[in-house]
Amino acid sequence: PRRFMNLNGLSVASAAEIYSLRPEDIYLVHDDLDKALGKVAIKLGGSARGHNGVRSCISALHSNEMTRLRVGIGRP
């Protein structure tokens, strides 16, 4: 996609429509400042927790039921 990270929901929603995917079929992989570097966590649904890219996906898909794989990048 040629979109800014904070607007990636438009690309995700477009791909979901093309491939007939429901929000439950989508896995979001994103960085997480609150996790230590290299730590990962998987979660189904929930809020964006301040992540603008996830917020964009929730808004574009009109759902928060995506599975999220959060990858820790730690705080500087």
What's the domain count of the chain? Answer: 1
Q: Does residue 2 fall inside a structural domain?
A: no
Structure tokens at 14: 């477009």
Q: What is the pLDDT of residue 6?
A: 85
User: How high is the mean pLDDT in each 10-residue block of the chain (76 residues)?
Assistant: 79 96 96 94 93 95 96 92
- The pTM assigned to this predicted structure is 0.87
Name beta bridge partners: 43: 68
Q: What is the pLDDT of residue 76?
A: 81
Amino acid sitting at position 13: A
Evaluate whether 12 touches 68 at the Cβ level (below 8 Å): no
Q: What is the pLDDT of residue 2?
A: 62
Q: What is the pLDDT of residue 1?
A: 56
User: What whole-number distance in Å separates Cα of residue 49 and Cα of residue 29?
Assistant: 14
Other C-beta atoms closer than 10 Å to the C-beta of 31 total 13
Q: Does residue 22 fall inside a structural domain?
A: yes
Q: Does residue 3 fall inside a structural domain?
A: no
Q: What is the pLDDT of residue 4?
A: 78
